Amino acid sequence: MSLLKTSLIGLKADSFRHPLDLEATKTLKQIPGLDMMVRNLLGPMAEQIFYVENIASSILVGEKQLPDLHNLLLEACQILDIDAPQLYVRQHPAPNAYTFAMRGKQPFIVIHTSLIEILTPEEIQAVIAHELGHLKCDHSVYLTPVNLLILAAAIVPNVGAVLAQAIQSQLLAWVRCAEFSCDRAALLATQNPKVVMSVLMKLAGGSPTLSSQLNLDAFIDQARAYDDISKTELGEMVKSARTAELSHPVPVLRAREIDRWASSQDYQKLLQNHGINDKNETVSPGGWRNW
């Protein structure tokens, strides 16, 4: 069975942005001098460093280089109604993917080989779409310099350490909230919540050896059970302490959020209102048809 996915013509970031992302971004913008430091001081240097590093040590995906990955990128961009960034594949043992962009500059996405090795093509597209979500939501304005800013502040004598400590919690809180919006972008591109949740499952405990043995239904049950921890004050405190210093929400929480949103009327209405297939026909709220 093949699925004809919906191209979301005219899709706006705010139509799928997670409420926590909106709130955290508003808070982040209130940090004095952050935007100026990012754009005028860190941005130009960081852009040059990252660009040279990718050209020297990664593979640029294109029509003649890893064309299957290139096609996954182009399809996801068409569905999310966004211009295609550059896509690089980098040899690295830690499964990861990330995005870099400054306003007015060529954005790019990097995917580590170890992540590709444990994912199916659909799941790889979900990862690409997640990174496209950062670009669609304009997260990259703050996302890319977050680690650079903390690093730079930490190595500046006296003031640096104080600044890093003061802003780190706010920056990490924002990044965690932004991830929820990008998981929604991954769902919109794949239009199959099980694909997105499968990626999260494999990030939690996947390997080339174990991936084929993992049970998605069991992981979804695990994600739904995560809410039970919050039924006691102690449980909620433990959850908060566990995530306070993380740059990403824990995988089961992200899976639970996708499970909820995929079942919501907001998601169905978004597909119905924006969805056009390749024959310019409005598609069903489910977002796909059998061929």
Q: For residue 143, is pLDDT > 60?
A: yes
Counting residues of the chain whose pLDDT is more than 70, the rounded percentage is: 66
The single residue of 47, 63, 131, 233 carrying the catalytic annotation is 131
pLDDT tens-digit profile of 25-74? 777 777 666 666 666 655 566 666 777 777 788 999 999 999 999 999 99
Q: For residue 156, is pLDDT > 70?
A: no
Ranges 116-125, 145-154, 243-252: which has the least confidence? 145-154
131 is catalytic: yes
The band of 149, judged by pLDDT with boundaries at 50, 70 and 90, is low
Ranges 100-109, 203-212, 267-276: which has the least confidence? 100-109
By C-alpha distance, which of 58, 64, 115 is closest to 88?
58
CA dihedral 93→82→288→62, nearest 10 degrees, is: -50
Ranges 14-23, 136-145, 230-239: which has the least confidence? 230-239
Residue appearing with tokens 């096609």? 71
- Under DSSP, the state recorded for 284 is P
Q: For residue 157, is pLDDT > 60?
A: no
End-to-end CA distance of the chain, in Å?
7
Bridge partners of 37, per DSSP, are: none
- Higher pLDDT: 26 or 256? It is 256
pLDDT at 253: 85
Bridge partners of 8, per DSSP, are: 275
**What are 280-289's contacts with CB under 8 Å, separation 24+?**
283/4, 283/6, 287/5, 287/6, 287/191, 288/3, 288/4, 288/5, 288/6, 288/191, 289/3, 289/4
pLDDT at 202: 95
